[in-house]
């Protein structure tokens, strides 16, 4: 579910996080490919990208001025806590040197569009294993159910259909609520919950995302 956003530098350079080009003439083209842009809780933003050049003479050499720890075309991952200036010089095989500066403005990034929960919201087709331990012997049944995972108003939470709201740990991809615990893995979901403290009536959901 990875979205690739590609922006090509020609006579001007524009993309969602607002950039500035610092040259008037280009003898070859540079593209900046953003493979991941995610807004997390605690005002944290992660961006992964790589740089590519074309229409000059390969190979190209990338000399990073800021951050000076970067090398080559990437991919690179940066955490955007403040405005960041990416500054690099690109040299092709003809020894043509071009200087580029890209300013990433944090306030221009749409936190709703790039909400970290986007990858996990949607419909899931689930197999449900139900246990009624109040009966003697216990009664078990299996059935199919479609659940909807959607965003809670709290940026750190999700809502599971009409079951309940849950806290979401985006680092471990786990979630939990009242008598409920679960985990996301790729496009799958699994969670367990029960209706009474003694877990007399309990449900186990296992499913795959269908949209």
Q: Are 38 and 114 in contact (CB under 8 A)?
A: yes
The C-alpha atoms of residue 70 and residue 8 are separated, in whole angstroms, by 20
Low-confidence ranges of the chain (pLDDT < 70): 1-26
pLDDT at residue 26, as a whole number: 54
What are 90-109's pLDDT values in tens digits?
999 999 888 888 888 998 99
**Residue 114 lies inside a defined structural domain of this protein:** no
Same domain membership, residue 18 and residue 88: yes
pTM for the whole structure:
0.72
Query: How buried is residue 38: exposed, middle or buried, by Cβ count under 10 Å (0-12/13-18/19+)?
Result: middle
- Final residue in a domain of this structure, among 108, 128, 151: 108
Domain count of the fold of the chain: 2
- Final residue in a domain of this structure, among 108, 142, 165: 108
Cα separations in angstroms, 117 against 60, 126, 177, 205: 37, 20, 17, 20
**Residue 143 lies inside a defined structural domain of this protein:** yes
**Residue 113 lies inside a defined structural domain of this protein:** no
The residue segments making up the domain with residue 14 are 5-108
Same domain membership, residue 125 and residue 98: no
Same domain membership, residue 127 and residue 204: yes
């Amino acid at each position: 579910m990875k979205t690739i956003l590609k922006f090509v530098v020609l006579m001007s350079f524009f993309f969602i996080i607002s950039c500035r080009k610092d040259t008037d003439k280009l003898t070859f083209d540079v593209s900046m490919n953003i493979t991941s842009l995610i807004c997390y809780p605690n005002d944290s933003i992660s961006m992964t990208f790589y740089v590519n050049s074309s229409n000059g003479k390969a190979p190209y050499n990338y000399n990073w001025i800021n951050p000076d720890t970067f090398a080559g075309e990437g991919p690179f991952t940066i955490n955007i806590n403040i405005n960041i200036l990416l500054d690099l010089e690109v040299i092709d095989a003809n020894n043509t040197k071009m200087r580029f500066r890209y300013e990433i403005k944090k306030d221009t990034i749409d936190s709703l569009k790039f909400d970290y929960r986007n990858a996990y919201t949607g419909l899931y087709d689930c197999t449900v294993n139900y246990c009624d331990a109040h009966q003697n012997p216990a009664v078990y049944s299996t059935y199919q159910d479609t659940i909807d995972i959607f965003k809670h108003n709290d940026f750190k939470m999700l809502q599971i259909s009409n079951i309940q709201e849950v806290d979401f740990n985006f680092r471990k991809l786990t979630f939990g609520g009242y008598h409920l615990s679960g985990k996301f893995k790729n496009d799958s979901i699994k969670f367990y919950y029960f209706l009474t403290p003694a877990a007399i009536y309990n449900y186990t959901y296992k499913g795959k995302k269908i949209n």
